[in-house]
Amino acid sequence: MRVNKKVRMNRLFGNGRCLDVAIDHGVCNEPSFLVGLEDMAGVVDKLVKAGPDAIQMNYGQADLLQDVPGKDKPALVMRIDMGNPYNRIRHRAMWAVLQNEAEPLIGAIEMDAACVVVNLFMLPDEPDLFRQCVQNISRVRADCEKYGMPLMIEPLAMLPVEQGGYMVDGDAEKIVTLTRLAREMGADVVKADPTTRAEDFHRVVEAARCPVLVRGGGKENLRAVFDKSAALMAQGALGMVYGRNIYQHANPSAVVRGLMAIIHDNADGAKAWDLYNQS
Reported pTM = 0.95
Q: How far apart are CA 108 and CA 198, in angstroms?
A: 33
| Residues in contact with 148: Cβ distance below 8 Å, sequence separation at least 6, in sequence order | 2, 3, 4, 5, 7, 8
Q: Which of 12-26, 77-91, 152-166, 191-205 has the lowest mean pLDDT?
A: 152-166
Residue 92 pLDDT: 83
pLDDT at 139: 96
Q: Percent of the chain at pLDDT above 70? A: 97
pLDDT on residue 144? 97
Q: Is 46 exposed, middle or buried (0-12, 13-18, 19+ CB in 10 A)?
A: middle
Rounded to whole angstroms, the Cα distance separating 273 from 123 reads: 35
Give just the sign of the alpha carbon dihedral 244, 114, 116, 151. negative
Surface-to-core class of residue 236, CB atoms within 10 Å of its CB (0-12 exposed, 13-18 middle, 19+ buried): middle
At position 34, the amino acid (one-letter code) is L
Judged against a pLDDT cut of 80, whether residue 1 lies above it is answered with no
138: enclosing H helix or E strand? helix 127-147
Domain-wise residue ranges, the chain:
6-278
pLDDT digit string (tens) for 210-220?
Answer: 999 999 988 88
CA 155 to chain centre: 10
Task: Indicate the DSSP class of residue 164.
Answer: -
Confidence of residue 184 (pLDDT cuts 50, 70, 90): very high
Q: For residue 7, what pLDDT band results from cuts at 50, 70 and 90?
A: very high
CA distances from 80 to 17, 49, 108, 131, 140 (A): 23, 25, 8, 17, 9
pLDDT of residue 161: 62
Quick check: 140 pLDDT over 90? yes
**CB-based contact 247:46 (threshold 8 Å):** no
Q: Report residue 262's pLDDT band, with 50, 70 and 90 as the boundaries.
A: very high
Structural contact between residues 243 and 225, judged by C-beta atoms closer than 8 angstroms: no
Look at residue 162 and tell me whether its pLDDT is greater than 70: no
Q: Give the pLDDT confidence score for residue 166 in this predicted structure.
A: 61
CATH topology of domain 6-278: TIM Barrel (3.20.20)
Sign of CA dihedral 216, 222, 223, 226: positive
- Name residue 75's beta-bridge partners: 54
Nearest residue to 93 (alpha-carbon basis) of 119, 120, 132, 58:
132
For the segment 108-138, what is each residue's pLDDT rounded down to a tens digit? 999 999 999 999 999 988 999 999 999 999 9
**Cβ-contact 102, 54 below 8 angstroms:** no
